[in-house]
Amino acid sequence: MSKTGIVIVDHGSRRAESNAMLEEVARQFGERFRQTHEIVEPAHMEICEPSIATAYAACVARGATRIMVLPFFLGPGKHWTKDIPALAAEAAVKHPGTQYHVAMPLGIDDLILDLLNKRAAFCQNNAFVCDSCRGTIRSGETGVEPLELKPHHEEKSSALCSTCPFKGQPLPQSVGS
């Protein structure tokens, strides 16, 4: 009987807590749906490991011959239409006898709408200043100064997102040093 592996993939971030969140999502998904999906691996499209290739190989090592890549993205942008399928195809070449399929992004769904409502209710119930936002620009509090946007990468980095607003701009001296 053929086993199916699940790879849950996000963009990837330089922020460790963002990457750790995806790993927790994959862990919880694997735990909750272990009866139907016994092989679940997290992956980041770019910037950090585990990559799609690494997660694909881990699924194969655990006995999967079909790999379903689940984008942890809202919309059907370039990453879903081009980047993720290309990375999955590249990973599949290294594992003859396997197949992959890239699922649709999260998109518009009643569950997404419920989640947005849950977030709005949380803000309202916390008088629009919860512990995670208090004192930051996210809170909209008076007297909190916005941070100046600065490039977050080196100009020649090969791990840039193609949509980065700073791509191709030289770094100020204070950021790159």
Calculate ∠ Cα 29-86-82, nearest 5°. Answer: 90
pLDDT tens-digit map of 139-164: 777 777 776 655 555 444 444 444 44
pLDDT of residue 140: 74
Top-confidence residue, 140 or 44:
44
CB atoms within 10 A of CB 86: 12
In order, the DSSP letters of 81-123 are IIIHHHHHHHHHHTSTT-EEEEPP---S-HHHHHHHHHHHHHH
pTM of the model: 0.76
Report the C-alpha gap between 140 and 109 in whole angstroms. Answer: 29
**Pick the residue with more confidence: 146 or 124?**
124
pLDDT band at 51 (very low <50, low <70, confident <90, very high): very high
User: For residues 142 and 28, what is the distance between their CA atoms, to the nearest angstrom?
Assistant: 38
61-114 per-position pLDDT tens digit:
999 999 999 999 999 999 999 999 999 999 999 999 999 999 999 999 999 999
The per-residue pLDDT for 137 is 75
Predicted confidence (pLDDT) at residue 118 exceeds the cutoff of 70: yes
The pLDDT of residue 164: 45
- Show the tokens assigned to 135: 């004192």
In sign, the C-alpha dihedral spanning 49, 138, 161, 14 is negative
Given a cut of 50, whether residue 171 has pLDDT beyond it is: no
Q: How far apart are CA 104 and CA 74, in angstroms?
A: 9
Lowest-pLDDT range of 22-31, 37-46, 91-100, 168-177? 168-177
